[in-house]
Amino acid sequence: MTSYLSHSVAETEAFAARLAAHLRPGDVVAYRGGMGAGKTAFTRGLAAGLGVRGEISSPTFAIVNEYRGPVNLYHFDMYRVLDIDDVETTGFFDYLERGDSILAVEWSENVEAILPPETITVTIEPEGEDCRRITVENLQIDKRRES
pLDDT, tens digit (0-9, with 9 covering 90-100), for 68-114: 999 999 999 888 777 777 778 778 888 888 888 999 998 898 888 88
- Band (pLDDT 50/70/90 cuts) for residue 142 is very low
Rounded to the nearest 5 percent, the helix, strand and coil shares of the chain are 35, 25, 40
Tell me if the pTM is above 0.75.
Answer: yes
Q: Indicate the burial class of 41 (C-beta count within 10 angstroms; 0-12, 13-18, 19 or more).
A: buried
Rounded Cα–Cα distance for residues 87 and 79 (Å): 11
Structure confidence at residue 146 (pLDDT): 43
CATH number (domain holding residue 84): 3.40.50.300
Range of the domain at 49: 2-146
How many domains does the chain contain in total?
1
* Residues linked to residue 100 through DSSP beta bridges, in sequence order: none
Structure confidence at residue 59 (pLDDT): 63
Residue 56 is which amino acid?
Answer: I
Q: Indicate the burial class of 135 (C-beta count within 10 angstroms; 0-12, 13-18, 19 or more).
A: middle
